[in-house]
Amino acid sequence: MISRDFLKSGHTPTLFSSFLYFDMSFMVWVLLGALGVQIAKTLGLTPAEKGFMVAVPILSGAVLRVVNGVLVDRIGPKKTGALAQLIVIAGLLAAWLMHINNYGGVLALGVVLGMAGASFAVALPLASRWYPPKYQGVALGIAGAGNSGTVLASLFAPTLAKMFGWTSVFGLVAIPLIITFVLYMVMAKDAPDQPPAKTTAQYLSIFKQPDAWWFMFFYGVTFGGFVGLSSSLNIYFNSEYGIDPIHAGFFTAACVFVGSLVRPIGGALADRIGGIRTLSVMYMVAAAGLAVLSFGMPTIWTAVGVLIVGMGALGMGNGAVFQLVPQRFRNEMGIMTGLVGMCGGIGGFYLAASLGLAKQATGSYQIGLLGFAALALVALGGLSYVKKRWRTTWHVFGAADAKI
């Protein structure tokens, strides 16, 4: 998958720093989900409030991805990433020093943590612009594998909260973020062929192109499913199987790890057999996994097995979507990454919030899970609808050799 030609074709230090920045940012983006059981117990939250709490950073990140996407085109990916990291570090340190202990304070922190989720709109263009079209799937798969940071949050945050209290975790996680910031400033470098900044009219013209809307919807399902589940599984395992927060974190980490690990594989597979073909299979598998899970599994082990399959499909789907985006919108990668990433966040917000509402209203997560499975099938239908046009028209945009 990673050949010598691939290593020679781009800038490895930038690719690594993009991954690291993305990884640490995703770790703190889902931090409230990893601490959700302990925070909810202290504050006495209802299922709906728990769902909203873990959904707020996702929604905030969705909106801020557009802001970062514009900044990437205006001032470059490296400067945008540096600014975003400083905001997140400052927010975490403030929450720790102020010792927030109320629902409003937690939600306010969630808004700030959205800037960590917006790292998506920075890390991917930073890496993408160094690599030629034939390696976009692998390069963006590697950079995008930084969503594995959600594994770190699930593994360590509940344990640290038990040892030091959940408010102290905010200060502790700032330490690796500061180290990452230093490495990022030393290693990351903007590609020499940065596209010129666009006018407001040029940004708005993106919305006139149907392909942009399709990509936003497709990623809203793949990434939305991944991050929505990543943020909700600690609470899900605790609620459905009665296990403590630390062990719930271990099970969550296993599911998230698979979804993160296979993202580069999804991108590489899309390079080899085509993004549309890869994405179509992933939608079918993900929809089946969510539907099966909605009927309840007899044991936590069977639930984890189903989730690993479903989240693996969503993770590979993430890689496949971003094998296609640079081929169609290479010169608009900043704003397109922001827009597509925004819709991914909106999808995650919808799933996390709907799971909480479904649990409170019916005592079961089934309606929320089935609703998202239906969205995956709608995305599959949409992909089938546009693929013929894409295969016959994308040569106009310089992607005659695209395997779609």
User: Could you tell me the CATH number of the domain that includes residue 223?
Assistant: 1.20.1250.20
- pTM (two decimals): 0.82
Three-state DSSP state, 189: coil
Residue 201 within a domain = no
Ranges assigned E (strand) in 283-364: none
Query: Is 11 inside any structural domain?
Result: no
> Rounded to an integer, what distance in angstroms lies between the CA atom of residue 251 and that of residue 234?
8
Are the C-beta atoms of residues 252 and 27 closer than 8 Å to each other? no
For residue 133, count CB atoms less than 10 angstroms from its CB and return exposed for 0-12, middle for 13-18, buried for 19 or more: middle
Q: What is the 8-class DSSP label of residue 395?
A: G
Q: What is the mean pLDDT of the chain?
A: 87
Domain membership of residue 314 (yes or no) is yes
Q: 215-244 burial by CB neighbour count: b if 16+ within 10 A, else e?
A: bbbbbbbbbbbbbbbbbbbbbbbbbbbebe
Look at residue 394 and tell me if it is in a domain. no
Q: Cβ(316)–Cβ(261) under 8 Å? A: no
pLDDT in tens, 356-400: 999 999 999 999 999 999 999 999 999 988 887 777 666 544 443
The one-letter code for the residue type at 395 is: H
Q: Which amino acid is located at 330 in the chain?
A: R
Cβ atoms 121, 65 nearer than 8 A: yes
Number of separate domains in the chain: 1
Domain span including residue 148: 16-189+208-388
Structure tokens at 367: 């309606």
CA of 339: how far to CAs of 213, 344, 354, in Å?
Answer: 9, 9, 22
380 assigned to some structural domain: yes
- Is 158 a member of any domain? yes
Cα distance between residue 334 and residue 179, in whole Å: 26
Residue 146 inside a domain? The answer is yes
Let me know if residue 239 belongs to a domain: yes
Residue of 394, 216, 402 whose CA lies nearest to 321: 216
Q: Digits of tens for pLDDT over the chain (404 positions)? A: 555 666 566 778 888 898 899 999 989 999 999 999 999 999 999 999 999 999 999 999 988 988 888 888 888 889 999 999 999 999 999 999 999 989 999 999 999 999 998 887 888 888 877 777 677 667 777 777 777 788 899 999 999 999 999 999 999 999 999 999 999 999 999 877 777 777 777 778 888 888 889 999 999 999 899 989 988 999 999 999 999 999 999 999 999 888 888 877 888 888 888 888 899 999 999 999 999 999 989 999 999 999 999 999 999 998 888 788 877 777 776 678 778 888 988 999 899 999 999 999 999 999 999 999 999 999 999 998 888 777 766 654 444 344 45
